[in-house]
Amino acid sequence: MVFALAFLLRLIYVLQARANPQFDAPLMDPGYHDQWAWSWARGAWEAEGPFFRAPLYPLFLGTIYAIAGHDFLVPRIVQALLGSLSCALVMLIGARLFSRAVGIVAGIGAAFSWILIYFDNELLIPVLFVLLTLGFFYTLVRLLEGWLWSPPGVRSAAQDAGRRGAGPPSPAPSSATASGSRTPHGGPPRDGRTMLWAALSGALFGLAAIARPNILIFLPALAWAFLRGLRRGLPPAAVGLCVVLALLPIGVVTLHNATAGDDLVLIASQGGVNFYIGNNPQSDGRTAIVPGTRADWWGGRFDTIKIAEEASGRELKESEVSAYWFGRGVDFILTRPLQWLGLMLRKLQLFWSAPEIGNNSSIYHLRSYAPIMRLPLLGFGITAPLALAGIYLALRRRNTEASGRRVRAALPLLFVLLYMAGVIAFFVCARYRVPVLPFLLLFAAFALVETRRVWLAGERGVAARAAGIVLVAAVLVNVPSLSHEENLALARFHDGVAWKQKGQNARAERAFRDALRHDPTLDTARSNLAGLLAARGAAHETLAEIERALNSNPRNPKTLANLASYHLDSGALGKADSVVARALAIDPDFSPALRILGVIRERQGDWASAREAYTKALRFAEEPHRLENNLAVLSMKEGNSMEAETHLSRSIELEPTYALAWGNLGALLAQTGRLERAVDALERAIELEPGSPTHWAQLAQVLRQLDRIEEAEAAERRAAALHPTMAP
């Protein structure tokens, strides 16, 4: 029931979220995962060093792409299934630790949690990490019950022994049976089942670690549980098997990092940068940008490397870049301890506040595209106060049975506390906090069920104290000072970028103008608007927007690149050359400026310099398919048709919907006498860009060479209708 309910809600959200322009044009971290996964699916991914980010989610997404193609709906439906399975696991864990009623309430709560529904739709790590974490936790509970505790309603052998360390537990005098994995009297599990749960628990922990290494912070609690279990008869072989299988996936990733980059990186190298983001004098505890770097994904990534290498005076390995930024964070803590303590308190407040903080996206704006989010779904502002009351009720001392319950509650509570410490050690955002939510839901459900029980049992004082905790916590968690206004300017800017990627320039232009209406100083929106105006030939408006952007920020390389492109389109190569030099003086690795430099050198006849600029730009490009096309055109001019075809093939592999590359491939195939294939390529270009007179004219020429005269004449008429100068 829980699984079906959760899947229904998630499927509705996925289908409604297709109205979001970023659904099939992912940006920032989702865009990075999409690019990585698609390269993996096509077999085009090449290891250039250690993993910067843990690899499991892109590998998972790439596997779906390899099966279903580069489709954006299929992986989200798969993720909806995985998210629904997580809700079922919440129910099962609640039932094993507390009671069936608690499990059902917690599972339904997870199904209706709007932030879990939201992240199950995103091309981000939480959906997979939450599932693996809950899978690990459930199998760990199955492994330890009977050794550390008995299921609800069954007295443990440790309780019967009356003291710690009284030897291996003996079967408890109860008729309860725990779903086949225990003795008929509720004693410890049989050895075969023990080894199975140990193996599953270890493997899932290792997989969770290579999805997001944060779970490693749970190791102290895991060590405590295993040591306690060993003293009560837990087989050492089970603990050993769990450890070995946990280390296996981690070891594979570490080995890859060592061989691919000759570098010692356990899982991923982003830890140092993330630590400095949350521990620097300018940090607010939530903004995920290194001060002094660009706000876009690749720009910020390259800037952190560049700053570290300039400070060190040499080229650095990934681990050394991470160590540099970690060292700067430690320096901040040591030199400004009072400021750091205040920052930590601020992050603790943010962790326990109701608003969901977007990392580099606007969560509330993106969810607004789906009408289902208008329903009164469950949020953190309700879950957290109930969970705090549930923690009080689970840990209060009442009788011998309550002591066993405290042991069962210890593991989920330790996960909450340790994982929270791991989050606030870096910075707080929704997708880092969300793995704690299922465990808070367990305690929230326990609060509801236990409060009802103690009230009916006449323990009105206990119920009143629990209600008081809920009320006080609700005020603190939902305090208005911790709320924040939605950055609608940035949200609409991201919409514009997505529409632009999809070729819907009119919608993109409206989005950029809307972003500037909310924030006239957002020069990135103005720069993109200028590019769109230039594309539709509005020269005067283009120059006006560029000048406004430069007035706002004269050192923005993107705006300078737009100005250089404007001069290039106007035929003023000298002015374009001068402006692009200014952009590259600010950022020598800025790909759009390097591409424009390549075009300038190509037009000047300096093909060697053009190739050098294109090649360097390709290394730092967000849209490498365009540069592969540039290199192909250059190779065609040089008469190297084989090299040109290689570049065009790469361009099409990177972006199968890039019409210009298909058109150039058709022209190249025609030049080399492969006319039938040329027709196929040109027809594909026309399918993607039916309004291009050039594609129709090229197709007409090839059809005439094949003596397909009627088809050629029809193509010529289409070309002339689109552009009168192309009349035959």
- C-alpha angle 430/432/438, rounded to 5°? 85
Mean pLDDT in residue range 370-385: 95
Q: Residue 46: is it exposed, middle or buried by C-beta count within 10 angstroms (0-12/13-18/19+)?
A: exposed
Taking only the tens place, the pLDDT of each residue in 75-106 is 999 999 999 999 999 999 999 999 999 999 99
Contacts of 343 (CB under 8 A, 6+ apart): 278, 279, 283, 285
Q: Which residue has the tokens 């100068």?
A: 725
* pLDDT at 154 (0 to 100): 54
Tell me: pLDDT of 496 over 50: yes
Residue 151's nearest CA partner among 139, 141, 137, 161 is 141
Mean pLDDT in residue range 190-205: 91
User: Which tokens belong to 449?
Assistant: 């069920």
Compute how many other C-beta atoms are within 10 angstroms of the C-beta atom of residue 338: 7
Residue-range domains of the chain with CATH = 2-158+182-263+359-481 (no CATH), 487-554 (1.25.40.10), 566-622 (1.25.40.10), 626-728 (1.25.40.10)
* pLDDT top residue among 274 and 146: 274
Give the burial class of 3: count Cβ atoms within 10 A of its Cβ; 0-12 exposed, 13-18 middle, 19 or more buried: middle
Burial string for 228-267 (b: 16+ CB within 10 Å, else e) reads: bbebbebbeebbebbbebbeebbeebbebbeebbebebbb
DSSP-derived secondary structure letter, 280 = S
Q: What is the band of 131 on the pLDDT scale with cuts at 50, 70, 90? A: very high
Model confidence at 525, pLDDT cuts 50, 70, 90, reads confident
Highest mean pLDDT among 174-188, 301-315, 322-336: 322-336
The pLDDT > 70 percentage for the chain reads: 91
- With beta carbons less than 8 A apart as the criterion, state whether 651 and 618 touch: no
Handedness of CA 561, 567, 570, 572 (dihedral sign): negative
For residue 189, the SS3 value is strand
- When pLDDT is cut at 50, 70 and 90, the band that residue 180 belongs to is very low
Task: Determine whether 131 is exposed, middle or buried from the number of CB atoms within 10 Å of its CB (0-12, 13-18, 19+).
Answer: buried
Query: Which residues neighbour 573 within 8 Å (Cβ) at sequence distance 6 or greater?
Result: 567, 600, 603, 604
Comparing 70-84, 317-331, 475-489, 679-693, the range with the smallest average pLDDT is: 475-489
Lookup result for tokens 């279990």? 229
Give the span between the Cα atoms of 202 and 219, in whole angstroms: 12
The crossing angle, in degrees rounded to 10, of helices 74-97 and 437-456 is 40
| Confidence tier at 348 by pLDDT (50, 70, 90) | very high
Task: Yes or no: say if 444 and 106 are a contact pair by the CB < 8 Å rule.
Answer: yes
**pLDDT tens digits, 240-298:** 999 999 999 999 999 999 998 788 899 998 899 999 999 999 998 888 888 877 776 66
Residues 6+ apart with CB under 8 A from 320: 308, 312
306 and 293 Cβ atoms separated by less than 8 Å? no
What pLDDT was estimated at residue 297?
65
Cβ(157)–Cβ(404) below 8 Å: no
- Does position 158 have pLDDT exceeding 80, yes or no? no
CA distances in angstroms from 452 to 466, 526, 593, listed in the order given: 11, 58, 66
Residues 423, 288: Cα–Cα separation, whole Å: 13
